[in-house]
Chains A and B, each alone.
Chain A
Amino acid sequence: MSSPGVYEGAANVIAALMLLLEFGMLRQALVRDQVRLYAAQSALVSVLAVVIAADRGLPDLYALAALSALLKVVAVPLVLRRLLGRPVGEDTPGVPGSYTLNPATAVLASIGLAAFGFFSFGNLGIRSAAAPTTALAVAGAMVFVAFGLMIVRRDVASQAIGFFSLENAISLAALVVAAGLPLLLETAFLFDLLLAVVVFAMLIRAQHARAESLSTADLTRLRG
């Protein structure tokens, strides 16, 4: 099989690394390490933006990469860490009973989800001038794995991180499909993320204040 070239290869590798980090978040027990993985994944989005900008001559993307790095690599993890630092303590060993499946099973199940996302997005047949189709399919797989992460974990913090990384997956897809999207629109999407951070922050505080725990296991008993 002929190789798709260095630029496409690099874009695909970055996308695949992001997917692997998503799996890392899925099986990582400590919320703090999940935040670290999220920061790394966000950094990769910026790297990909720079790669596309350099290869396709789209100077807007440099600005987007810088803004996205500032927001998602620095600000959001900082906020999350502060949030987790106060209610749960410095060395929180994760939320007990957070896993509904054991990690190996969760990974295997998510491979199934990733396969579904990968092939369904791949078969849409979307071609873009900016980035390779495989990267788009990987973004699709990431969306599904992020959903999987939110489903298999029972603590609010992990679910928040799952949601934020979902946004990363969508950023990746947006970069691949429409790298030339106006900067204003891309920035608007980024600020949507801030809204989600605020909402999840309130959710985490509220859940902790009410149940003395970040686990959502108790919530199943609440019936109307």
Chain B
Amino acid sequence: MSSTFDRFQENLSSIKSPFEIISLLIKKIEENNSKCHIILNKSIKPLHFINNYIKVKEIDYDLILKEKKIWSEKYFSNKFNLEPSKTKYKYTIVNYISVGNKFKGLIYISYNKKYSYEILLNQLNFEISNLIEKENLRKKINAKNNLLKNKTLEIESLFDITEMLNSDENLKPLFDKILYFLISLFNASKGIIFLRDANSKNFNVQSSFNYDLNKINSRIIRDTRGVHKELKESFKSRIINNPKKYPLLEEGKLNCISGPIISNKKLDGSIFLFDKESRKGLTTFNNYDLKLFDSIIKKISLTYNNLFLVHSLKDSKKMIDSIMSSISTGIIKINMLGEIEYINESASSIFKVDSKSIINNHYAILFHNNQEILDILERAENSSHIFYEENLKINTNENNIGAVNLTISPVFDDGINSGMVVTLEDLSNINKVKSTFKKYVSESIVDELLLNEDSLELGGVQKDVCVLFADIRGFTSMSENLEPEKVVSLLNNYFQKMINVVFKNNGTLDKIIGDELMVLYGVPISYENDNQNAVNTAIEMFKELKVFNEKIKDEGLPEISIGIGINFGKVISGNIGSDQQMNYTVIGDNVNIAARLCSVAKPGEIIISDSVYNKLNTSSGFNLNKPLNLKGKSKPIKNWLMKVS
């Protein structure tokens, strides 16, 4: 026997699978016409598949424990509903299987022939216990593994929510995502997010999932009562075990987990998740859920706060950008490193550059064609003073030439120099306007017009205007004896002198009609002394003419004689003409009177109407002239005459 048993033991040690060992052990026991039953708890699954070798039945622990005695084979068969053995056995032996002090089953052997089963039985028990232990260990590892998976899911979810919260999204899609995320993470059945409306201060539903909003939508939700009042007072996430007591949370069946969205120490919203799911059905949220939920809610609050700051910053930036792009002054912000941080549309337009290509580049790139600006900037970098340069010529990126008034100011943040701001007043358009206007009006009028656009009235309006006509006497006969080039040259030189006088006295050159000048005072800008200016113009014209005549006399040219007529009164001023040609001028009876007075004035005479005379500060030199009967006038016109020597 011992040698057979030894061989059997050798066989066993060569077999690695515990199942095969168990099977062999059972076979060995049953070799001696014995019967081996192994009764195990049905939950011990790994032994199920060797059903062919051993009996695995449901086990009643209590029964076994209570009746821990040696049963007869019949009693045993009845107890465990086994098919009664046809063989009558004389003896029975029971071996209890326990793992870690816990009873797991028993091995029951019925036999007739005495045999030493002890070693086999102990070996079988050891193998089965070992297997059960391994199975328990496997279950524990699986459970831990599942727990680990859930923890991984939670950690991944925290990463996800961080990413989600940092995304540049609008509130609605962001909070929809947040709610979906929370529902999924906490196995919740439903959920809802409220946010406070900035204007009404009431709370509105921002997002919901599986939630019947019919009752909620008609409610005014404030933090003065109900669940929001409690959240406002506690500022804490909490589990609400009887959600139905709050009208807003009536949808909850078991319990609800709630959290406040806090921004600037104020309750700005709330999040509620309802009825946690488990494999067995609905369950309640626990303290572990609350801890995780609270940490996420705090993150959401922080993000909500940041989101508001970002939105307000964006709004501010948008507003500043709008202001900056609407102003005509070019603005460039340069940082301490000399890099361009900001350039507005006007500055881009002045230098004809694309702002995007200039941002973050050194200013030397923008001003590479403008050494003078570079020099000033270098000086400004080493100074804390404001630099100003007027009418500075600049070269644009497209090699055009322009002019600007340049100001460079240092910028200080909390007393620390943070760079410079360059402002550029584009003079190109102003200069164009000036050069065009200067042909018609004096520079002082142009400047005033540019400074004060309201003073310019280009529509058809009735105004008090002083009109001066100056005509060359005997020009036709004079020009007949001269070559045409000389006539033109003579006239141009004469007009140049006369117009200078006009502008000097704030007159506006209305037009040159042949050899006649028509000058206005009081349009487009009226001054208090328009009449005096007109008379002064007339007197100075004669003075200039005297000098002019002396000059041309030396050149062998004939002297020029002029007569001047001036009238003051209401005229209609405006842009008069057709679509093709339109001129700003004045029309009316008083214009005609001025022309008539001029036509009757003899060479060296200034004739002014009574209306002009009455407005003069200095009227010396004028004598009352005999009334003149002018064409188109029923009554003679009172007038005053000055004879200029």
Task: Specify whether A and B are partners.
Answer: no
| Chain B contacts to A: CB under 8 angstroms | none
**A residues within 8 Å of B by Cβ?**
none
